[in-house]
Amino acid sequence: MESCLLLHFKLCDLCRGPTEAVVWKVVGTTVRIRKQCREFGSITFWDSQNFISSIPEGNLRLGAGILFSGSKPSQALRVFSHIKCPVISLRSFTRHQTKWLHPVINLVWKTKQEEMIEGLRQIGVPVNLGGDGRSDSPGHSAKYGSYTLIDLDWNMVLHQELVQSDEVSSSNAMELEGLKRGLDFLSQQDIQGGSLVTDRHRESSSLFSLYGVHILNVFNVSYCIPGVSKKIDKIAKKSCSEAGKWSKSISNHLYWVAASTTDGDSDMMLAKWLSVANHIQDIHDHETDFP
């Protein structure tokens, strides 16, 4: 490959005479060629790519591609190493990530967030939110937790909060603290919440009275399903094996109750949910509101 590349540097750019060309330096994904005229001794250099503040553009782009795609840097760089393709080191990737890529991500995010909030402020209608938290590790030993608030009508991430476990009483309290900080932020931006879809945390219900009567706590049904299934399985093992056969059907029924009642009519939802008891018993003639 190197010899094929040097074939393109046999002639001097000034006199068109013969030259001596060598690969002078390889820096990650870029290569520098040194070319010296045999007759006049003039020396010129050629770089395979542009530079951004003394850093080869390809090196930055490669690091950005790895980071933005969510790939593991060590594995991605190892692929290039196995095919003998010059590439940046893991140390260089980490340095570029800290000095260039993370600041750019923060800048773009802040700019976009300001645009979204200004647009919502101009529309002036209550925002329907979805919120959920994630931790850096499962269980009760997480050190960091993030909480994200999404505008469900526009499918946009409005705000994110990062909470450290030593800022709250325990790692379990990080999600609640993230939600509180997120609602505080939106309140400071004059964004009024219309509803909030979140997972089933009883502690979060106590926050809603602090942010106006328009905020409604709506549980995410996907978080309720595992609890229902566990209770049915427990009953099946303890005293009623027949109940276990209905576990999946009852879980699907709960999904259907939520998905089929898009207007949020709580009375209708309750009637639909309770109707499963009649179906299990093969009772189809009754006085309840829903078949």
Q: According to the model, what pLDDT value does residue 235 have? A: 84
Distances (CA, A) of 79 to 56, 66, 69, 89, 95: 20, 12, 15, 12, 20
Which pLDDT score, from 0 to 100, does residue 139 have?
65
What mean pLDDT is reported for the chain?
85
* pLDDT beyond 70 at 289: no
Q: Determine the average pLDDT of the residues in 117-124.
A: 91
More confident of the two residues 116 and 3: 116
> Torsion angle, CA of 19/21/24/26, rounded to 10 degrees?
140
Say if residue 75's pLDDT is above 90.
Answer: yes
More confident residue, 252 or 94: 94
> What is the H or E stretch that residue 160 is in?
strand 156-164
Q: Which of 4-8, 78-82, 87-91, 172-176 has the lowest mean pLDDT?
A: 4-8
pLDDT in tens, 165-224: 889 888 778 888 898 899 889 989 988 877 888 776 666 666 666 665 345 556 778 778
In terms of Cβ atoms closer than 10 Å to its own Cβ (0-12, 13-18, 19+), residue 60 is: buried
Give the position of tokens 């990080």. Answer: 174
Q: How many CB atoms lie within 10 A of CB 178?
A: 25
* Rounded distance between C-alpha atoms, residue 49 and residue 21, angstroms: 18
Over residues 30-60, the pLDDT tens digits come to 999 889 888 888 888 988 999 998 899 999 9
pLDDT category of residue 105 using cuts at 50, 70 and 90:
very high
Residues 246-271 pLDDT 10s:
888 888 888 888 888 888 788 888 88
Q: Would the pLDDT of 148 be above 90?
A: yes
Q: Which of 110-114, 125-129, 201-205 has the lowest mean pLDDT?
A: 201-205
Q: Which is more confidently placed, 136 or 75? A: 75
Does residue 160 surpass a pLDDT of 70? yes
Per-residue pLDDT, averaged over 102-125, amounts to: 94
pLDDT at residue 213, rounded to an integer: 34
Of residues 131 and 63, the one with the higher pLDDT is: 63
> Which are the contacts of 271, defined by CB distance < 8 A and separation ≥ 6?
288, 289, 290
- Euclidean distance between CA atoms 91 and 73, whole angstroms: 10
